């Protein structure tokens, strides 16, 4: 079955053609011409653009040029294996020709072309050195074949299409900067060729050219796009479209940043900067011919021709971010020359770069401080040793005399570049970039910014490159701020948290640009890790079937590893052993969010170590939910103190469980019955003694005291619990069975309070002198704590400013959903601190 489209009648006018229109140039890469089906699809694309004359430049089929380069190398080495490669190429192109239709390409021409290639390859055996023009002819054969196939698929000369071997027209010379076009001679030869070939539309071979002696040469690897730009200029096209396999120029490499976006438009200057810094979709040389003529250049996807693509033109294109794209260049090294003898000495930089030029070392980036004490440049890793030796030789006398302290090479470097016309004259762009890198714990080794302000380049360790790219991309809101999250402790609060995360994640990503990826879950015994993100179903599933034993070191390494810029561990356990890991995690740059009170109320030295690690490691430690579940208790206290207020006392209901019990305990029902009801509704811990004993409230008092700067320890808090001594050490089941033993003491307390006209509440109080007490208290009915509702926590701050009328924070303080919401809020605050918009 033929894939070729029906050829139009050459004597009939082209449908909808407009006389006098300048031609439109198209270039199709190897992926667009990979096989017969793709060639047929290209023919359809071109038929739909028939309103103006068409110039089409074709690359070789995907992979063919690499195969030809290898074939030539084998032939030169006397390896007869090149014949196998030749037969495979012949079969591939014959198959394409047959699939396109019996008349798509004369079989004789194809056989002659491959026979000629076989003769050229045979002639290379033993040739030393191999003739450059023969090698070029072999390397460029793929463009001859693919362009002829496309020409035939378009209907050939019968449909008004001419075929041009670029060597008949294009004349170039090779120098240090690559191929240079002889424009005058090429234009004259094109005029002569056009006189002999008046067809309206033309298919041209890419990559190939000839030198001033008429010998075959090429434009170098990636020369197909350059060919297209040259011929678009020679034909005076109104626009050039380069068809590839991506939707356009992306804001970053999508293999490294999956959230990279297609840019609708770029200026020439932006495109040049991105091309110089490794944007694969366009080669720097391609831009020169179109820039010289002010010609718009489009990058479009032949696999999705309906996508609008990216337009590159003379003018800047408005954008919401000052940065359009982020690029990375790998396999680099920093070469540094330093010494006090360089200060104020003219010509030092010239000597450095002359030495590098003499040994053909390319400089990617230059950085010099105003002190002139050192010059550093970034070079290709493969050239670093050669460059270092050349610079040492150039400064041998100064090194010997001590004027130059030395020449040093740091390997394993990458350069990250941020590019955008919107950077020009915009304050804070460098701060945003470097701040984003800092928050991702990426150190900048060297920085350079051109006077045009369109790009900033930062040299970084190669190991940090992927994380740096994602962090920089997110810093300019080009992609979501991504957090790699590990959740330790999957009890009631942990399960509620992961459920809330799963439900809110799509909305946060869409509306706020925050990507919360739960990549690890752990109980005390088992854990589950994921390379990407755990699916909601996996989050909800019991971890009993997890395929790994719990290992907090491995979990932390997993969450911190990979290319995601930010790592967070959320500890929803009540374990002191987990809390003991916080300092190490924070020092490693892992943010910690927790409702676990063990850290804030445990050993004071450990607490200070955690705070110091958070400050030194540039990681955030959030623990709001340790006191008031979802209430902003710690935040309110910090706000009071940071604004200069003085704390006098803190008093309140700090247990949602005890608040519920005392709000309901009016003598109409035994206290034990209320405890059983609270336990059944999940208001209490699995062992209610953890609530009734008052230690949980005491821990909250210690946390608040330390937040206020008072070095209180748990053993300094006077605690009056509600559990009789006889029930403190028995098994939980026994305790639950003997709950009625609480009833008589509690009834007596209630009666005593009522006799005084007071109400009974379980209160915590912290005084400025360091006195701290928690326990049942009979309070005046006018007291704020007498009016709590259900599980409300209520914290009353008495300060210098709020002396007569204390500041009260009140709201629900018990239940896994409320506590999980407080943890979630802290997690979002971490994201906000990392640059996310809230």
Neighbours of 804 (CB within 10 A): 6
Euclidean distance between CA atoms 583 and 382, whole angstroms = 40
More confident of the two residues 685 and 544: 685
The token duo for 279 is 């944007």
Instruction: Give percent above pLDDT 90 in the chain.
Output: 59
816-833 vs 492-507: helix axis angle to the nearest 10? 50
**Which pLDDT score is estimated for 796?**
95
What is the residue-averaged pLDDT of the chain? 88
Cα dist from 209 to 13, 65, 192, 290, 655, whole Å? 33, 15, 17, 19, 82
Decide which of 607 and 130 is more confident: 607
Q: Give residue 220's pLDDT band: very low, low, confident or very high (50, 70, 90).
A: confident
Q: Is 414 helix (H, G, I), strand (E, B) or coil?
A: strand
**Whether pLDDT at 189 is above 90:** yes
Task: Give the single-character DSSP code of 332.
Answer: E
Position 664 scores a pLDDT of: 92
pLDDT for res 8:
33
Lowest mean pLDDT among 189-198, 336-345, 564-573, 598-607: 336-345
CA–CA separation, 731 vs 385, rounded Å?
Answer: 72
What is the C-alpha radius of gyration for the chain, rounded to an integer number of angstroms? 37
283-306: b or e for each residue (b if 16 or more CB lie within 10 Å)? bbbbbebbbeeebbbbbbbbeeee
pLDDT at 239: 95
Q: Is 700 a catalytic residue?
A: yes
pLDDT at res. 654: 93
Would you state the pLDDT for residue 7?
35
Q: What is the mean pLDDT of residues 218-231?
A: 89
Mean pLDDT of 575-590: 93
Q: Please enumerate in sequence order all residues whose Cβ is within 8 A of that of 826, keeping only pairs 6 or more positions apart, or say none.
A: 593, 622, 623, 624, 625
The C-alpha atoms of residue 163 and residue 150 are separated, in whole angstroms, by 10
Note the helical H segments in 301-378: 348-358
- The encoded tokens of residue 148 equal 């002829």
Could you tell me which of 36, 71, 46, 28 has the C-alpha nearest to residue 206? 28
**Confidence at 371, pLDDT banded by 50, 70, 90:** low
pTM score: 0.70
Distance between CA atoms of residues 621 and 612, nearest Å = 11
- Per residue in 434-458, pLDDT (tens digit) is 888 888 889 999 998 876 778 899 9
pLDDT at 702 over 60: yes
- The tokens 């050195």 sit on which residue? 129
Backbone conformation region of residue 344, classed left if phi is above 0, alpha if psi is from -120 to 50, else beta? left
Catalytic residue among 27, 324, 597, 700: 700
Q: What is d(CA 522, CA 467) in angstroms, rounded to the nearest whole number?
A: 25
Rounded average pLDDT over 191-202: 95
For the cut 60, the answer to whether the pLDDT of residue 15 exceeds it is no
How confident is the model at residue 134, as a pLDDT? 93
Query: For residue 770, is it left (φ>0), alpha (ψ between -120 and 50) or beta?
Result: left
For the cut 60, the answer to whether the pLDDT of residue 10 exceeds it is: no
% of the chain beyond a pLDDT of 70:
92
Token pair, residue 502, equals 């799963």
Is 753 a residue whose pLDDT tops 60?
yes
Round to whole Å and give the CA distance between 443 and 439.
10
- Residue 741's pLDDT is what? 94
642 burial (CB, 10 Å; 0-12 / 13-18 / 19+) is exposed
Residues 703, 627 contacting (CB under 8 angstroms) = yes
Q: Kindly tell me if the per-residue pLDDT of 838 is higher than 80.
A: no
pLDDT, tens digit (0-9, with 9 covering 90-100), for 413-440: 999 999 888 888 888 888 888 888 888 8
For the stretch 545-560, pLDDT in tens is 667 888 999 999 999 8
The answer, yes or no, to whether residue 373 has pLDDT greater than 80, is: no
Q: What is the mean pLDDT of residues 231-247?
A: 95
Local confidence band at 477 (pLDDT 50, 70, 90 cut-offs) = low
pLDDT at 658 over 80: yes
Task: Decide: 468 and 416 in contact? Cβ < 8 Å.
Answer: yes
- The per-residue pLDDT for 278 is 58
List Cα–Cα distances, 824 to 538, 618, 622, 703, 704, in angstroms: 19, 21, 10, 20, 21
Tokens of 479: 């992609």
* 806 pLDDT above the threshold of 80: yes
**105 pLDDT more than 80:** no
pLDDT for the residue 279: 62
Structure tokens at 339: 């010494």
Q: Tell me the pLDDT tens digit for each residue of 304-323.
A: 999 999 999 998 777 767 88
Per-residue pLDDT for 328 more than 50? yes
Least confident of 136-145, 208-217, 500-509, 746-755: 500-509
- Residues 742-756 have a mean pLDDT of 94
DSSP-derived secondary structure for 440-469: TT--EEEEEE-TT-SEEEEEEEGGGHHHHH
Judge whether 188 and 170 are in contact, CB under 8 Å: no
- Residues 6+ positions from 169 with CB-CB distance below 8 Å: 186, 189, 190, 193, 234
Strand order in the sheet with 406-419: 363-368, 374-380, 325-338, 406-419, 455-461, 444-449
What pLDDT does 492 receive?
A: 85
């Amino acid at each position: 079955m033929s894939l070729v489209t029906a050829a139009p009648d050459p004597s009939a006018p082209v449908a909808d053609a407009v006389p006098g229109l300048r031609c439109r140039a198209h270039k199709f890469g190897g992926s667009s011409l990979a096989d017969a089906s793709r060639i047929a699809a290209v023919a359809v694309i071109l038929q739909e653009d028939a309103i103006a004359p068409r110039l089409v430049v074709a690359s070789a089929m995907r992979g063919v040029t690499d195969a030809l380069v290898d074939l030539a190398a084998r032939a030169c080495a006397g390896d007869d294996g090149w014949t196998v490669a030749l037969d495979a190429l012949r079969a591939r192109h014959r198959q394409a020709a047959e699939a396109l239709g019996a008349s798509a390409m004369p079989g004789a021409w194809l056989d002659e072309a491959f026979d000629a290639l076989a003769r050229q390859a045979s002639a290379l055996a033993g040739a030393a050195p191999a003739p450059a023009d023969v090698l070029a002819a072999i390397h460029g054969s793929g463009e001859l074949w693919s362009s002829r196939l496309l020409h035939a698929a378009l209907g050939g000369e019968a449909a008004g299409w001419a075929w041009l071997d670029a060597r008949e027209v294009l004349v170039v010379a090779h120098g240090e900067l690559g191929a240079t076009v002889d424009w005058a001679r090429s234009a004259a030869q094109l005029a002569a060729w056009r006189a002999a070939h008046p067809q309206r539309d033309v298919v041209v071979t890419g990559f190939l050219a000839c030198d001033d002696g008429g010998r075959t040469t090429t434009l170098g690897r990636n020369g197909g796009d350059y060919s297209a730009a040259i011929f678009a200029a020679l034909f005076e096209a109104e626009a050039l479209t380069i068809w590839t396999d991506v939707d356009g120029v992306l804001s970053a490499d999508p293999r490294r940043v999956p959230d990279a976006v297609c840019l609708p438009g770029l200026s020439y200057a932006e495109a040049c900067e991105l091309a110089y810094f490794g944007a694969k979709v366009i080669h720097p040389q391609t831009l020169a011919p179109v820039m010289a003529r002010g010609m718009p250049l489009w990058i479009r996807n032949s696999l999705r021709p309906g996508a609008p693509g990216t337009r590159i033109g003379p003018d800047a294109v408005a954008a919401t971010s000052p940065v359009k794209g982020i690029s990375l260049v790998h396999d680099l090294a920093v070469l540094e020359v330093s010494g006090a003898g360089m200060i104020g000495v003219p010509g030092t930089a010239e000597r450095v770069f002359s030495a590098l030029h003499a040994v053909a070392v390319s400089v990617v980036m230059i950085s010099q401080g105003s002190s002139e004490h050192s010059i550093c440049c970034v070079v290709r890793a493969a050239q670093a040793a050669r460059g270092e030796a050349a610079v040492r030789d150039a400064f041998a006398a100064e090194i010997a005399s001590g004027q130059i302290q030395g020449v040093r090479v740091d390997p394993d470097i990458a350069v990250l570049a941020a590019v955008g016309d919107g950077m020009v004259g915009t304050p804070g762009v460098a701060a945003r970039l470097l701040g984003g890198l800092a928050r991702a714990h990426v150190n900048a080794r060297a920085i350079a910014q051109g006077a045009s302000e369109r790009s900033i380049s930062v040299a970084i360790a190669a190991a940090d490159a992927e994380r740096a790219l994602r962090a920089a991309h997110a810093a300019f809101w080009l992609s979501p701020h991504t957090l790699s999250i590990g959740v330790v402790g999957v009890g009631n609060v942990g399960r509620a948290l992961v459920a809330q995360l799963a439900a809110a994640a799509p909305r946060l990503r869409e509306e706020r640009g925050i990507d919360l990826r739960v990549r690890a879950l752990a109980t005390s015994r088992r854990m589950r890790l994921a390379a990407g993100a755990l699916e909601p179903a996996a989050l909800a599933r019991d971890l009993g079937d997890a395929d790994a034993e719990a290992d907090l070191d491995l979990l932390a390494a997993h969450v911190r590893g990979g290319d995601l810029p930010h790592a967070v561990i959320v500890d929803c356990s009540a374990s002191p052993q987990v809390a003991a890991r916080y300092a190490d995690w924070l020092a490693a740059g892992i943010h910690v969010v927790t409702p676990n009170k063990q850290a804030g109320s445990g050993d004071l030295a450990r607490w200070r170590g955690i705070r110091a690690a958070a400050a030194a490691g540039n990681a955030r430690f959030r623990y709001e939910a340790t006191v008031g579940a979802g209430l902003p208790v710690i935040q309110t206290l910090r706000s009071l103190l940071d604004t200069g207020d003085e704390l006098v006392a803190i008093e309140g209901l700090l247990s949602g469980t005890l608040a519920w019990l005392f709000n309901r305990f009016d003598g109409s029902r035994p206290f034990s019955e209320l405890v059983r009801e609270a336990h059944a509704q999940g208001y209490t811990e699995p062992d209610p003694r953890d609530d009734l004993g008052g230690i949980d409230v005491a821990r909250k008092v210690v946390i608040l005291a330390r937040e206020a700067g008072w070095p209180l320890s748990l053993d300094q808090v006077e605690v009056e619990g509600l559990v009789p001594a006889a029930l403190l050490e028995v098994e939980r089941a026994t305790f639950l069975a003997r709950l009625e033993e609480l009833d008589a003491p509690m009834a007596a307390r209630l009666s005593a309070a009522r006799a005084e006209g007071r109400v009974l509440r379980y209160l915590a109080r912290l005084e400025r002198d360091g006195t701290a007490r928690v326990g049942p208290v009979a309070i005046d009915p006018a007291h704020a704590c007498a009016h709590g509702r259900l599980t409300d926590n209520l914290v009353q701050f008495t300060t210098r400013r709020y002396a007569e009328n204390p500041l009260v924070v009140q709201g629900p303080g018990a239940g896994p959903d409320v506590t999980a919401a407080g943890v979630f809020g802290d997690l979002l605050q971490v994201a906000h601190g990392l640059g996310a918009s809230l």
